[in-house]
Structure 1
Amino acid sequence: MSMPQCGDAVVIYALALPFFIALGLVALIFKFSTFGGTRVRLVVGALALIGVVVATVGLVQTTTASAATVTGPATLLNVAPGKTIVKTLDNKARADGTAAVTYKLPAVPKSGTGVYASLRVRSANGAAYALQTRVYPTGKVQVTVKRVSNAGKTATALTGTRALTSSVKAGTPIALTLKVGGSTKVALTGTVKVGSSASQKISVTDSSTLRIRAKGKADFALYTSSSNPSTAVSLESSSTSGSTSASSNGTSSVAPGNQISGSSAGVPAGTVLTRHEGDIVITKPNTVISGLEVHGTITVKASGAVIKNSKIVGGKTPSHIGLINNVATGSSFSVIDSELVAAYPDSWWNGIYGSNFVVDGVNVHGVVDAVRVIGSNVTVRNSWLHGNLHYEADPLRNGTPSHDDSIQIQAGSNIVINGNRLEDAHNAAVQITQDTSKTALGSIQITNNFLQGGGCTVNIARTPTAVHPAVSGNTFGPERVFSGCAVIAPVANKPGLSGNTWSATQQSMATYTVLE
């Protein structure tokens, strides 16, 4: 027999509450009446006390077990022209759940392009799903579901724009709800209710490679264009509910890499970045770069460099040797708690390129190869490599499709790939080849990652001398071209497989596809 859960307790107390209150009142009447002797009065007195205590506990339980809800005096938010303000609704990060707000415009702007109000879920590190309303000076309302990315700079419409039949006047309440669930396919359901009109429902599923899987907070974002006057918005009420654990849709796993996402890899929340224009060349040993948004590339030419808490976006001229590289010298460096994404996408762009480096807690996306290894002593851990650039007609491949990988290993030994989330690459999550002009392949460990994507997810090519990568403790997600091909290798390069599982079934993944 299972014990009641918190929600069950609320129902039990709520149903029993009238009984205990009545018991307490009846017992009190008997206690102070002249009916019965001293013993009877003591008994009913005890019953009175029990009734009052249990009733009080019931009231407390029914109050504190509810979802996070904010009611009471409205919050007035003032939006300056051309500015965005964000109001966090709940500090708990959720993957699956529902958020709701009700807001009013004390006065509808008489000019400009309208007021944008967005209820957002899975909001973290500049990414979110948004149910956006736009109120025009005429009072007309449009609604759209969008995916926000690129530190809030990009908003991709996931639905068409829907014009509502109801109009807004000063003080008309606008109620929004947005429900999100899933990971392999993210289901979004929103409702909009204007005044006393019927609710309008809008739904969409996001299964693109750029879908947001990570947990995030619920918030309320407001924007007016620079042509608008300053606008006041009254936030009347809000509520949030849902699980604070990771979404179970296709991602349940024991591999630590399964929990890596934009909320755990990348620039820590709250870090203030200083914009740096132009390329950086490190020539002094043990140089530390921290807190920069680099609109250029970083080339390491002195050992011991540390690049942390920074965002590297490149410039307008792409570089195939990466946003960060040490190709010329092989000087050691580390990249920690940072984000790499090409601001100007191009098939030339790669992420981190070289040898003798450590990547820890880094979010790399929007490039062709997230990491390219051309020598020994490389560790990639606790990082999220995803959202690869892919071109069906890649000019660098004579118009054939891009061979984008999360990690491409071309040479080297003592290579460790541990505790990462690798996905979205079209060729492979890990591609192992041998560039005969470089160091021979040696020890390669691929452990405790969440891996998906590619034709086959781990692709070990034929090499001049045998190499036997250790592939252990990983979870293989459902996404790849050939569904059963988690690992492919020639017999001569047979990998060591142990402790790997399929995320969808939690069954062992203990075999590999032989490359003929």
Structure 2
Amino acid sequence: MSVAPGKSVTAKYGPKFTNGIAGASFVVPQHKSDVYVGVQLRTVGKSAGYRARVLITKNGTLRVGISRGETVLLSQSITGKALPGQTIRVEGLASGSTPVKVAVRAWVVGKAKPGWQKTINDRAASRVTRSGYANTWAYLPSNAAKSVKIIVTSRSATPAKKAVAKKKVIAKKKVAPKKVAPKKKVVTKTTVTKIIGGKPSAANTGVPAGTKLKQHRGNITITKAGTHLNGLDIHGFVNVKAKNVTISNSIIRGGRETVGNNQGLVSNFGYANFVIENSEIKAEHPSKWFIGLRGWNFTARRIHIIGNVDTVMIHGDNVRIERSLLEKTDWYASHPMQNGGPTHSDGIQILQGRNIDIVGNTIRGIQNFPILGSASTASIPDLNIEGNYLDSGWCSLKLQTRNHHSLAATVRNNKFGPNRHEKQCVFLAPPEVKLTASGNVFEANGRAIRILRVAG
């Protein structure tokens, strides 16, 4: 976004909605004057709807504000500074009609996400009650010496979920029941059909063709070394607490959420040589707290994980995920760990660890990032991402560092699909990431992708 003195620029994105949250991340430019950035909600044509914005002064101090069109409704200083080269996130909320609730928050990416810093209830006759689009927005005061270029690294538009109306039950006239032959007893076994070979898909990952599964109801905690679970349909959580455990040819469905904290349908917190293969992980009772597979010291091969907030979360060393299908993460508009904001639903999130290989997988249908190397709890010194098919997300692959940790990665021979929120953000890695990359192309035409080496 190139902004001239005394001018503003906008860019429409996302679906049209009435109630929900819009957000965008902006790289703070080199500027010698004040600069404004933000998002607009309920925007139609040239009518700006509501604007949630932050003023970044020439000294880096911050002031959030809310306006209806060009009418300022509030403006207030907040703590912190945003300096050139850093990325600042701005989010706005619009909800209701009588009154219209509008909120704003802004923070430097890498710092803790705050709650809504300022909220107003707009009861004016000119309040905006219609649906509209989300816009990114920037403005440069007329006293600026020259234009500035502002890079937008990510945008989000998250409409509030609508309540589903219950169908009216119409009483039917009672009739005498017909005599029918007694039903045969149902055997609680499942037969799964698969096709072996080719790019990882629903046909060649998960439980192999013809496998008969024995149902198990209840959680399983494995404490005996060398245990092998095979051919089970598990209606419960699996917690590995022993070395050399294998799970194969099985479906793990989890149970109902009870702990009010992150919970893996399958978890292994560091017990050596855990292998899960030819298996499926899908929550029977989805929850905002569920992760498909989490932990470290494990190998996952030819598994199919469907749904959950994250399909895989890696907390430590020695992880290999290969020839698997990870897809269709679950999204929730509000989550306590995001200060009431929407869930950050990733395919694979890597918090820390060495000796991590992500090889030959299909990762698709993800709301946040198909692969996110965050280095948020410790460093990631030797991440290898090779031969995967990645599609969807804000960016399809994002590597970053947090909390003074480091990340070094080799990324090669991956193919990228056409679907993502930010069309230009296929692969984002800021300059502090030590990166070796080659052979990464769009699947459709073989054209090399562009790697964005900017803060994000």
Per the shorter chain, which TM-score range?
0.5 to 0.7
Describe the shift of the 1:357–1:334 C-alpha distance in structure 2 as closer, same or farther (beyond 3 A): same
Does 1:273 pair with 2:219? Answer: no
Structure 2 residue aligned with 1:456: 395
Aligned counterparts, 1:69-88, within 5 A: none
* 2:234 matches 1:294: yes
Supply the distance in 2 between the matched residues of 1:227 and 1:385 (Cα, whole angstroms): 47
Q: How does 1:153-192 map to 2 (within 5 A)?
A: none
Q: Secondary structure at the match of 2:401?
A: coil
- In the alignment, the residues of structure 2 paired with residue 228 and residue 414 of structure 1 have an alpha-carbon distance, to the nearest angstrom, of 65
1:347 matched to which residue of 2? 288
Shift of 1:475: 0.3
Q: Could you tell me which of 293, 301, 317 is aligned with 1:376?
A: 317
Task: Report what 1:408 is aligned to.
Answer: 349
Q: Is the 8 A contact 1:497 1:510 kept in 2?
A: no
Q: Are 1:444 and 2:383 matched, yes or no?
A: yes
- The one-character-per-residue Cα deviations of 1:490-511 (angstroms, maximum 9, x if unpaired) are 1010422101111232211253
In structure 1, distance between residues paired with 2:310 and 2:433: 23
From the superposition, tell whether residues 262 and 318 of structure 1 become closer, same or farther in structure 2 (CA, over 3 Å). farther
**Equivalences for 1:428-439 in 2 at 5 Å?**
428-436=369-377, 438=378
**Equivalent residue of 2:407, what SS?**
coil
Question: The residue matched to 1:355 in structure 2 has which SS?
Answer: strand
Shift of 1:311: 0.2
Deviates more, 1:265-274 or 1:500-509: 500-509
In the TM superposition, residue 424 of structure 1 has moved relative to its aligned partner by 1.3
CA distance in 1, matches of 2:277, 2:178: 41
Q: What is the Cα deviation at residue 397 of structure 1?
A: 2.4
Aligned to 2:331: 390
Query: Unmatched 5+ residue regions in structure 1?
Result: 1-225, 231-244, 246-255
Gaps of 5+ in 2: 1-176, 182-194
* Distance (Å, rounded) in 1 between the aligned partners of 2:224 and 2:368: 37
Q: Distance in 2 between matches of 1:364 and 1:489?
A: 26
CA contact (8 A) 1:454 1:481 kept: yes
- Letter of the aligned partner of 1:286 in structure 2? G
CA distance in 1, matches of 2:212, 2:258: 26
Tell me how far apart the structure 2 counterparts of residues 444 and 386 of structure 1 sit (CA, whole Å): 21
Please, which of 278, 282, 300 is the counterpart of residue 359 of structure 1? 300
Which residue is equivalent to 2:250? 310
* Structure of greater Rg: 1
Kindly indicate whether the alpha-carbon contact (under 8 Å) linking 2:205 and 2:302 is maintained by their aligned counterparts in 1: yes
Measured in 1, the distance between the counterparts of 2:201 and 2:178 equals 37
1:227/1:418 CA distance change after superposition, 3 Å: farther
SS of 1:350's partner is: strand
Two-structure CA RMSD over aligned residues (Å): 2.4
d(CA) in 2 for partners of 1:433 and 1:511? Answer: 17
- What's the offset of the Cα at 1:227? 7.9
Report the Cα offset of residue 229 of structure 1: 5.3
What is the letter of the counterpart of residue 499 of structure 1?
Answer: G
Match of 1:261 in 2: 201
Secondary structure of the 2:432 match is: helix
1:324 matched to 2:293:
no
Letter in 1 for 2:376: D
Contact 1:318 1:346 (8 Å CA) reproduced: no
- Residue type of the partner of 1:471? V
- 1:512 pairs with 434, 448, 452, which one? 452
Q: Does the CA contact (< 8 Å) of 1:498 and 1:510 recur in 2?
A: no
Structure 1 residues 346 and 490, CA gap change in structure 2 (3 angstroms): same
Cα distance between partner residues in 2 of 1:228 and 1:337: 45
Match for residue 143 of structure 2?
A: none
CA drift at 1:323: 0.8
- Which SS does the other structure have where 1:405 is aligned? coil
Structure 2: distance between partners of 1:411 and 1:330? 16
Give yes or no for contact 1:462–1:489 (8 Å, CA) kept in 2: no
Deviation per CA, 1:264-301, whole angstroms, max 9, x where unpaired? 00011211111111111111111100011111111111
Whole-Å separation in 2 of the counterparts to 1:421 and 1:372: 16
Paired residues of 1:475 and 1:501 also in contact (CA < 8 A): yes
Please tell me whether the aligned partners of residues 304 and 331 of structure 1 are also in contact (alpha carbons under 8 angstroms). yes
Opposite residue 286 of structure 2, the aligned amino acid is P
The aligned residue for residue 103 of structure 1 is none
Going from structure 1 to structure 2, the CA distance change for 1:394 and 1:228 (only over 3 Å counts) comes to farther
Whether the aligned pair in 2 keeps the contact of 1:330 and 1:354 (CA below 8 Å) is no
TM-score (norm: length of structure 2): 0.55
8 Å CA contact 2:429, 2:451 repeated in 1: no
Q: 1:275 to 1:398 in 2, by over 3 A?
A: same
Aligned length: 265
Q: Residues 432 and 264 from structure 1, CA distance in 2 versus in 1: closer, same or farther, beyond 3 angstroms?
A: same
Deviations, residues 289-323 of structure 1 (Å, cap 9, x unaligned): 00111111111111100000000000123562301
Q: What CA distance in whole angstroms lies between the structure 1 residues aligned with 2:323 and 2:179?
A: 44
**Aligned-partner residue type, residue 438 of structure 2:** S
Q: Write out the 4+ residue segments of structure 1 that deviate beyond 6 Å after TM superposition.
A: none
In the alignment, residue 388 of structure 2 is paired with which amino acid? N
Alignment map for 1:56-205 (pairs within 5 Å): none
What pairs with 1:447-486 in structure 2 (closer than 5 Å)? Answer: 447-463=386-402, 464-486=404-426
User: If the length of structure 1 is used for normalisation, what is the TM-score?
Assistant: 0.49
Comparing both structures, which one devotes a greater share of its residues to strand?
A: 2
Structure-1 separation of matches of 2:396 and 2:408: 16
Superposed CA deviations along residues 186-238 of structure 1, whole A, max 9, x for unmatched, are xxxxxxxxxxxxxxxxxxxxxxxxxxxxxxxxxxxxxxxx98957xxxxxxxx
Inter-partner Cα distance in structure 1 for 2:250 and 2:311: 16
Distance across 2 between alignment mates of 1:400 and 1:228: 55
After superposition, the C-alpha distances for 1:140-164 in whole angstroms (9 at most, x for unaligned) are xxxxxxxxxxxxxxxxxxxxxxxxx
Determine the C-alpha separation between the residues in 2 that align with 1:420 and 1:318: 32
Residues 25-44 of structure 1 deviation map (CA, whole Å, 9 limit, x = unaligned): xxxxxxxxxxxxxxxxxxxx
Give the letter for the 1:365 counterpart: I
Q: CA deviation at 1:330?
A: 3.4
Describe the superposition over 1:161-202 as per-residue Cα deviations: whole angstroms up to 9, x where unpaired. Answer: xxxxxxxxxxxxxxxxxxxxxxxxxxxxxxxxxxxxxxxxxx
- Contact 2:412–2:438 under 8 Å retained in 1: yes
